[in-house]
Chains A and B, each alone.
Chain A
Amino acid sequence: MSEFEIQEIEVNHRNLIQKVAFDQCGSRMATCSNDRFVKVWDKNSDGDWTLTSSWKAHSASVWKVTWAHPEFGHVLATCSFDRTAAVWEEIVGDMPGPRQRGTRHWVGRTHLVDSRTSVTDVKFGPKAQGLLLATCSAEGIIRIYEAPDVMNLSQWTLQHEVQCKLPLSCLTWNPSLSRLHPAMIAVGSDDTNMNIGGKVFVYEYSENSRKWIKLETISNITEPVHDIEFAPNLGRSLHILAVASNKDVKILTLSPVEDDQVAQSGLTKLDIQTVGQFDDHGGTVWRVCWNVTGTLLTSTGDDGCVRMFKMHGINLWKPVAALKGDGTHVPTAAEAARSSQAAQTARYIKLGSIQPNRELRH
């Protein structure tokens, strides 16, 4: 595994960051925090990240922020402890003077107030389905909204409400389905009761009944689940799902099964296998995140580390690296010049590393 280097961007949220999200090409960044603010950052032509917008998005901690597909313009969605989710669009104002950039600010296009509890996750659907937004809440309801006119982001209709029996903490759309296949969503629950069955549920939209139907409950995951994400699909017929729970990181494959029952009902039947299980964090895993090709998974957890797992085959995943914070700081340019270690340009500095030892595992 080769060396890592990092670039520091000071974001100055007044509280911890809950989520960082990048747009499709990685040139814009949105951060949201317990301080109720959302900030948007842009990379300029010199390669530096600058703050272009900052606004108080909610009246309580903002849990998640996510970008819509660039075909819809510059659009963000957020969800919060304040029981709402919101859709934001960037407006560029009139030019204050010749050749000066117009002021850019984000306006709230809609506030979705249907939930009676904290909205724990918000995700845009795959664009093949149109402009869809799904939220899940602590009361265990999945809500699917649609903007029937994609040019008008103020109008969203609540298309479906799906009641799960457990409070939900996370939601993921399956990105790999084209317009020909029905949409699929997986949700996870962080309910602490370990005796009430599986905590991950897979739903599919049925064209026949025009409803979202539960396909599967993943019953071997009984610990509270905090994050869940489908992997991007490299043309495989099966789906890959990563789950972060109190115990470990799990990677599962969901393979569609062909049989008569399936042909009749029109619903997909899935054969679910656990192909990777990692307790390297030694405790609760908070987040999982896939890379663009679905070949690398990062997870973060109680041990304060970011861990990376690489695919060596559909059924073979291996940990490849980990990162953790240490007490030092990124040297400023002046400090770097003084130290003989200044191997990189001021922007990127190499990360030091240590070999793993037992101590870190708990």
Chain B
Amino acid sequence: MHSDSASINMSHNLHGTFVSEKINKIRWRPGGIQSLNLFVTGSIDNEKNTIKLWDFCENDEENDIYPFTISSYMYDGDVADIQFINQDYFACASSSGSVHLMNIAVQSSGDMLLNNYMEWDKIHYFNNGEASCCTALAIYENDLVSVGEDGRINVLTAQSKNVIRSIDDADSCSLGCVLFLKHNEILTSNLRGQMKIWDLRSQTNTPTKTFMLSGDQVTPTCLIFHPTQRHLVIAGDELGAITTWDLRQNTFPVNVLNAHEGSINEIHFHPDHPDQLFSCSSAGEIWHWSTKNKHQSFMGLEDSDVNVWLAPDNVKNKLEVFTLMPTLGKSINTLDLNKNKVICGCANEAIYLINGINL
């Protein structure tokens, strides 16, 4: 997909704010109405990085919306991943090899404060004692799984300080992404694009299935599943391609889409509109993928669930792609969705809010 075929959807507005740090992960706070504007960021590349909780301030007369920090927490290492467990708790992965469970606490004064509720200290490490980056987290209810450059998989739970299970040398290469396929089944990807499915009930430390992203050594950079069809897994990789699998069927990709110029940093399906996908890349592209002719039903097919992403080969024809923001030439490191708002962090040390996207 070339960017000249992506049109700019002008029916939304864009607000940018410089925040003096590079945001690596940005996440809306999930939950009810009172959370509508709150989001959390984790920074990278600073001498001292931070995790911050933000809110938006709307200045209607100037049509200006800008975020401001409610609470800030100094973090040891780069923030490699942030995943919310529920409205008040989220987990962070650090380049120091630790995982932290953070809490959004409301104090007696009514102010909100970020605090470090619990941590699993340096659970990723190399055998010579050097720290290993914890690269990704996955959450299923109260359970967490972390993976790192040490090739280790750690199974954790929010209820315990102890590591429930640690699979050392799960992979001879660095692990980059992880996701829960089912409560007891996870999928990991490594530096070479080798994907492994693990059954967490099994006592053996070997994967149940192994397959490759592609024939060449291509590093997958993000891994997600479809909101309603968990067997549909999508990976974005360092060459800007999007690969889809239907793991119900087999482990060969259903289709591969050459999408972005740069490496794909994050992909998200819209939780409320699962036929819409959002992706951002190191080339500064941030795109909204939508199925064309959404309301037209697929003739003759009784399965209204037929997902366009599962269609082999002619996926391109079934999708419209919109550019949400003109590229600034700097990487969009992270993005997240909340109803009709998209928020993203850019390598120019700014946060952008894109309001009113067409869903």
Chain A residues near B (Cβ < 8 Å):
45, 47, 92, 94-95, 99-102
Contacts and interface: CB of A to CB of B under 8 A. Distances in A.
A45 B76 CA distance: 8
Interface stretch (B121-129, B237-245, B293-301, B309-317): B121-129
Nearest to B77: A45
Contacts of B76: 45
* B interface bracket (residues with beta carbon within 8 Å of A): 10 to 19
B128 A102 contact: yes
Contact of B129 (A45, A47, A102): A102
B129 A95 contact: yes
B130 A45 contact: no
B41 interface: no
Interface of B: 47, 76-77, 96, 122, 125, 127-130
A334 B125 CA distance: 37
Contacts of A45: 76-77, 96
Contacts, number: 20
A101 B96 CA distance: 13
Contacts of A99: 122, 125, 129
B128 to A, nearest CB: 4
A63 B76 CA distance: 39
Chain B interface mostly helix, strand, loop or mixed? loop
Contacts of A101: 128-130
A169 to B, nearest CB: 39
Which 10 residue pairs are nearest across A and B when measured between Cβ atoms? A101-B129, A92-B128, A102-B129, A102-B128, A95-B129, A99-B125, A99-B122, A100-B129, A47-B47, A45-B76
Nearest to B124: A99
Given A45-B96, A47-B47, A95 B77 contact: no
A92 B129 contact: yes
Contacts of A102: 128-129
B47 A95 contact: no
A90 B47 CA distance: 26
B122 A95 contact: no
A102 to B, nearest CB: 4
B182 to A, nearest CB: 31
A94 B130 CA distance: 11
A44 to B, nearest CB: 11
Contacts of A94: 128
Contacts of B47: 47
Contacts of B125: 99
Name the residue in B47, B125, B128, B129 with the highest tally of chain A Cβ atoms < 10 Å from its Cβ: B129
Nearest to B95: A45
